[in-house]
Amino acid sequence: MWSNCLAYFKERLPEQAYQTWFDGIAVSTLTSEEIVLQVPNQFHYEWLESKYRHLIDAAIKEVFDKPMIVNYSVVVSHKKPNEIPSLVQKENVIPPGYQEKTQLNSRYLFDNFIEGKGNQLAKAASYSVAEKPGQTPFNPLLIYSITGLGKTHLLQGIGNFCIRRYPSMRVQYLTSEKFMLDFIRAIQENKSTEFANTYRGVDMLLLDDVQFFQNKEQTQEQFFHLFNELYQQGKQIVLTTDRPPNELTGLKDRLVSRFQSGLMVDIQPPDLETRIAILMKKAHDDHLEIPFEIIEYIASHIKRNVRELEGTMVRLLARSSLYRKDITMELAREVLEEILGKEAFIGVTIDHVIKSISREWKVSERQLVGKGRKMEIAMARQIAMYLSRELTAASLFNIGLHLGGRDHSTVIHACKTVEKKMLGDNELKKRILRIKKELQPVGSVSIY
């Protein structure tokens, strides 16, 4: 019965929230009127009560056909905090919303895909294909990027959109590895014809990680014929790879040619604003209140991989829960040091920038961080803010704090002002670039 409750939570929560707060909870006592849940610590109990009590009550009412009294039993552990294993994401777990027939995960939707400059074209093309499958020039549609930037999200988002809008449509999502393994099994069992017919009967084929086909000659041959047949019938094909097809070694030229015959779009690593939006949405979805400066701090350090960005948030929540700590800047720094290593925090600091600007503009450091509004002081201060944002991993909040306790909107205004002045003043631009070049080798002081 409790397993059914866990399934109820899985369907309604993001996977990381489910794994953080529900995976591993067991029933210690069950009567006709009461259920006692075993949790790892007091903080975990308080979190469930404050954030998820309504969800727990709803699950119990549905599964047990009646409301029940919910109590908690806290596991007493004699282990020291550093002996408690840290929470890690589980692999090979069937995700919530998984649909056996299509292999799609219903959590991957266009609505919860955060759009930024690096993925706008890929999202627009995916949405266009989903609206009119097989009826656009984008067939095949090929999306490529390094790992962790959202290719699979868009690929499955297309499928989920289609099965909702066109219920009778036959959509099939699979990885290239699964395609190959199914093909090998079909050969072993003398079922090659059945295998071919299975995929030739679909209206939309969504194939993930095509780079896995490299050097698999028989699999490539099989897929080449399948591709041709679906394409000739006007069926939609969407593919993902970790690089452009012409950079995939070990793929036959005629297959690469087919991949290039439609639309190819790439996804670039998200910019700072997009990374912040991703973290803010995750915090919102998990019903968490995390100060903006901490979100900005995390986003400033995790730059290339959305999956790593979200994983950092999960790790932060896990440390907060297991060690019973508030989510603070110090805790965020600890988590980032674990992920990135201490070397990532060695580099230019705001103090370095202030000293350099003070020397170059002949303005005292006290004046730079003070309230003075004289034109030369204000300009030097704005340049210090600009270079601090360019060269350090400090958040806008921290930059403003160092330069006279100003807020982040003042820092943004300063950066825009300096950028604008550099466009019209070549001498100023050279001066700032020279300081920037001098500062970059500086090392080993904390960004605080």
For the ranges 28-37, 269-278, 439-448, the lowest mean pLDDT is seen at 439-448
For 2-63, give the DSSP string. Answer: HHHHHHHHHHHS-HHHHHHHTTT-EEEEE-SSEEEEEESSHHHHHHHHHHSHHHHHHHHHHH
| Spatial CB neighbours of 266, under 8 Å, sequence gap ≥ 6 | 122, 143, 144, 145, 244
For the ranges 105-119, 227-241, 254-268, the lowest mean pLDDT is seen at 105-119
How far, in Å, CA of 108 to CA of 209, rounded?
A: 17
| Digit-coded pLDDT (tens) for 36-55 | 888 876 667 767 876 788 88
Report the CATH number of the 120-266 domain: 3.40.50.300
Answer yes or no: are the C-beta atoms of 285 and 15 closer than 8 Å.
no
Q: Is the pLDDT of residue 20 over 90?
A: no
Per-residue pLDDT at 154: 95
Per-residue pLDDT at 12: 87
- Its pTM stands at 0.57
Q: And the tokens for 352?
A: 């370095």
Same fold, 120-266 and 272-345: no
Does the domain spanning 350-439 belong to CATH 1.10.1750.10? yes
Per-residue pLDDT at 43: 61
Q: Where is pLDDT greater, at 351 or 170?
A: 170
Average pLDDT of the chain?
82
For residue 40, cis peptide bond before it (omega within 30 degrees of 0):
no
Q: Is the pLDDT of residue 267 over 70?
A: yes
| Spatial CB neighbours of 441, under 8 Å, sequence gap ≥ 6 | none
Per-residue pLDDT at 379: 92
Q: Is the pLDDT of residue 2 over 80?
A: yes
- Helix (H), strand (E) at residue 207: strand 204-208
- Helix (H), strand (E) at residue 64: helix 53-64
- The band of 335, judged by pLDDT with boundaries at 50, 70 and 90, is confident
How far, in Å, CA of 130 to CA of 1, rounded?
A: 38
CATH architecture of residue range(s) 272-345: Orthogonal Bundle (1.10)
CATH architecture of residue range(s) 2-79: 2-Layer Sandwich (3.30)
Q: Is the pLDDT of residue 81 over 60?
A: no
Please name the residue that has the structure tokens 């970790």. 242
Q: Is the pLDDT of residue 93 over 50?
A: no
Domain ranges of the chain: 2-79, 120-266, 272-345, 350-439
Per-residue pLDDT at 382: 93
- The band of 406, judged by pLDDT with boundaries at 50, 70 and 90, is confident
Q: How many other C-beta atoms lie within 10 A of the C-beta of residue 43? A: 16
- The band of 347, judged by pLDDT with boundaries at 50, 70 and 90, is low
Q: Residue 76: name the closest of 68, 84, 65 by CA.
A: 84
- Helix (H), strand (E) at residue 144: strand 141-144
How far, in Å, CA of 393 to CA of 382, rounded?
A: 17
How far, in Å, CA of 125 to CA of 119, rounded?
A: 10
How far, in Å, CA of 237 to CA of 73, rounded?
A: 52
Per-residue pLDDT at 315: 86
φ, ψ at 189 (rounded to 5°): -100, 10
Per-residue pLDDT at 101: 65
